[in-house]
Every structure is written in C-alpha cells, then in structure tokens.
C-alpha cells in the first residue's frame, strides 16, 4: 500500500483551516479535495458525479470473477489477493453481464490520498440497493468493508455480487458513493431530541430516540394497493445505466398485507417496502440508515443507507419523504406487522451546508417518494 506524503499539512483541512470542524464534507469541499489531489481519478469527473455530501465512484474497464468475498487485511494489497482468488478476468469497457450469485471485483477509476484528519466511508447508491446488488468498497490493507481510514493512500475496488437480477455494467458505471468526514460528527441522542424538536426530522418520532431515530414499516391492510414488491427470480438482465428500460411486471410482483398476520417474509427473497414515517434531512446534516439490527429480527432493511442534505426538505420547513426499505429475510420466515420498528436513522453534522441540495438543485429521482422501485423500471 502506497504511503505518499500528504498533500495537506497536518491539522489543516483542504482549505488550509487550522481548526477543522468535525463533520461530513459538503460538495464544495469535495471539489477542493479533488483540486488538492486527495481524490484522484484516471479520467475527468463527469457532470452529476458530485452529490451534496458525496461523490459517485465509477467502475474501471476490467473485472475479476473471484472464488469468494475477501478482505486484504493489514499489509496486504487487493491486487495480491486477486492473484490468489481470481477465476478469470474480463473486459467490461463496452458492457458485460454480471451473473447472480457470483462475486466480482472491479478496480475503480477513483483513488485516494487522504490527509491524516480526513476519513472516508462508502455505501451503495440508492438505485444499486433497490436492485438487490450487494456491493462494497475495499482498499489495500484495510480490514473492513466500506471504511477508508484517515491517511490512506492507494486504489479503491468495488466488490459486486448481484443477488436477484443479473446486471449489465461497463466502464464508468456508478454503483457506490463515497463520503468524507472529519472527526466524529454523529449527533448524540440528546442532540437528536433537540434537533427533532426544532427541525421535525422524522414524523411521529418525538420519543423513540435511542442510538438513532426509529423507523417503522408501513403495511396497511386496507386493500387499496400493494404495500410493496417482491422480486421475481430468473428474470432478464437489468442495465445499470439504462433508466426506464425494464417493465415492472417482468421483474416484480406486488404484495399485500394481511390484517391479522401482516406480511410474511420468505427466506432469501427480496422485497421493496416503505417506512411509515416521513424523513427530513436539513441542509445542516446528512443521515444514514443502519442496515441491519439483529435485535428486531433476522432481516436486513437497507442496503443503500446514505441520505443527503435536502432529502425531504422544503424552504417552508421539512415536509419529509418516506424511506424505501430494501428488505431480505435470513434463514427463516419472518412476520412484519404494520408499524413495527425495523431500523434506526443516525444524523451527522455537516462541516457547512452544501451549495446544492438533494431534490432542490439536483434532478433527484427519489425526492418526495412513497413506495418506489429503482429508476430502471417503468
């Protein structure tokens, strides 16, 4: 793992401030990281790649099919592990199919030269999570997925495992996003209660705040429409870069809730559901949905956890948008009931408000959403 000298002096941020505040870096600070050589790329960044509090990561031109998921561990590089674990390598520059149940590793076009006070974390993009594509970012010598420690210098890789639909990807496809943070910007429960009272972060959540704000699942049994969708098996491919190219009935079947039993999740089936609460992310904060909580059941409720400043926000106050839940039960059938708590939303301070907000300044597909599939379906 390369350890080139930092391009930013210790104790300063990318703008030369000596007392950098704890927080998530906004889009304007990410631009400065790029100018300072902290975030590097083999190709110029594309329009729309920068989000209010993150940057989209792009796949490179070559992919590796590997025997199993892995972490490089301290002192080891991903390239060295690929030499041991790869089954074959293939070109994806002009498009290639990644099959379900297989594990692939793709070097990314972006790399990092982080200073000692800035760390990074990754998450799947919303559209990636709603396709049931399990993807994580790995880095040389880092014994954890999606976490890039402060001071890291080196390449980044995407591990990709489609779970339900085979997908088509190519050079430049964007499956993951990266956030940068200084210090520990997470709000405590007491700070969250004050913020909830002031900003109405989550509707109906004034009291249930413990290690984040509780979110519950919306499963009305009034028969007025589906409460969610269950993914079909053995479908055609989904092109990651083609919006509106797939017909919903070819890939999904609607599900309804039973007034007595709620919704029974079948093991290893993938569901799209929605939260009962509306969520508001003010410009001063970013948020993240915790993906799995074994205390409430053996199931996962979210793959793509990042929520940008401006989600559910309006100038007149936070109106809120519901959160789409990407749900998969593990090992055993599990009953979900209307209003059952399924996860927690944590909020982190921004170092400053971003110059562009989700939904207001960007063409955001999921603003003001209800129950909604990914942008690939019409």
Q: Which of 70-79, 189-198, 366-375 has the lowest mean pLDDT?
A: 366-375
Domains in the chain: ranges and CATH: 23-182 (2.70.40.10), 189-349 (2.70.40.10)
Whether the per-residue pLDDT at 139 is higher than 70: the answer is: yes
Q: In terms of residues, how long is the chain?
A: 378
DSSP for residue 302: -
Residue 12 has pLDDT above 50, yes or no: no
Higher pLDDT, 26 or 370: 26
Please count the CA atoms within 13 angstroms of the CA of 62 that sit on its side-chain side.
Answer: 7
Rounded average pLDDT over 87-111: 97
Q: Is the pLDDT of residue 3 over 70?
A: no
From 15-19, 103-107, 218-222, 312-316, the region with the lowest mean pLDDT? 15-19
Listed range (20-29, 70-79, 324-333) with the worst mean pLDDT: 324-333
* Residue 117 confidence class, pLDDT cut points 50, 70, 90: very high
Q: Compute the distance between CA of residue 166 and CA of residue 234 in angstroms, rounded to an integer.
A: 9
Decide if 93 contacts 326 (C-beta within 8 A): no
DSSP bridge pairs for 134: 161
Beta strand 306-307 pairing with 285-289:
antiparallel
Residue 83: in which H helix or E strand, if any? helix 78-85
Determine whether 282 is exposed, middle or buried from the number of CB atoms within 10 Å of its CB (0-12, 13-18, 19+).
buried
pLDDT band of residue 150 (cuts 50, 70, 90) is very high
pLDDT score, position 304: 63
Residue pLDDT, tens place only, 358-375: 655 555 554 445 688 999
Specify the pTM. 0.88
Percent of the chain with pLDDT over 70: 85
Confidence (pLDDT) at 332 = 84
């Amino acid at each position: 793992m390369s350890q080139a000298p930092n391009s930013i002096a210790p104790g300063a941020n990318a703008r030369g401030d000596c007392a950098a505040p704890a927080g998530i870096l906004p889009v304007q600070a990410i631009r400065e990281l790029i100018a300072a050589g902290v975030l590097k790329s083999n190709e110029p960044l594309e329009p729309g790649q920068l989000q209010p509090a993150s940057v989209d990561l792009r796949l490179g031109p070559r992919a590796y099919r590997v025997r199993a998921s892995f972490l490089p561990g301290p002192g080891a590089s991903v390239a060295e592990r690929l030499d041991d674990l790869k089954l074959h390598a293939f070109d994806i520059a002009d498009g290639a199919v990644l099959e379900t149940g297989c594990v692939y590793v793709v070097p990314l076009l972006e790399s990092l030269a982080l200073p000692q006070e800035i760390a990074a974390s990754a998450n799947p993009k919303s559209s990636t999570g709603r396709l049931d594509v399990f993807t994580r970012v790995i880095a040389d010598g880092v014994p954890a997925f999606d976490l890039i420690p402060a001071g890291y210098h080196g390449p980044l890789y995407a591990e990709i495992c489609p779970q339900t639909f085979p997908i088509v990807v190519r050079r430049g496809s964007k499956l993951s996003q990266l956030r940068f943070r200084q210090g520990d910007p997470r709000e405590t429960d007491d700070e969250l209660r004050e913020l909830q009272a002031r900003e109405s972060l989550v509707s109906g959540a004034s009291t249930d705040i413990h290690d984040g704000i509780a979110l519950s699942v919306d499963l009305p049994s009034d028969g007025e429409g589906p409460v969610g969708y269950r993914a079909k098996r053995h479908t055609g491919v989904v092109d990651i870069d083609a919006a509106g190219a797939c017909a919903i009935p070819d890939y999904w079947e609607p599900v309804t809730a039973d007034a007595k039993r709620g919704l029974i999740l079948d093991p290893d089936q993938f569901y799209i559901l929605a939260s009962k609460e509306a969520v508001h992310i003010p410009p001063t904060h970013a948020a993240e949905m915790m993906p799995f909580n074994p205390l409430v059941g053996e199931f996962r409720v979210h793959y793509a956890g990042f929520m940008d400043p401006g989600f559910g926000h309006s100038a007149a106050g936070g109106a809120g948008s519901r959160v789409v839940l990407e749900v998969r039960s593990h090992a055993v059938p599990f009953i979900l009931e209307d209003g059952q708590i399924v996860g927690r939303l944590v909020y982190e301070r921004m170092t400053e408000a971003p110059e562009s907000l989700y939904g207001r300044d960007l063409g955001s597909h999921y603003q003001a959403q209800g129950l909604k599939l990914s942008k690939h379906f019409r």
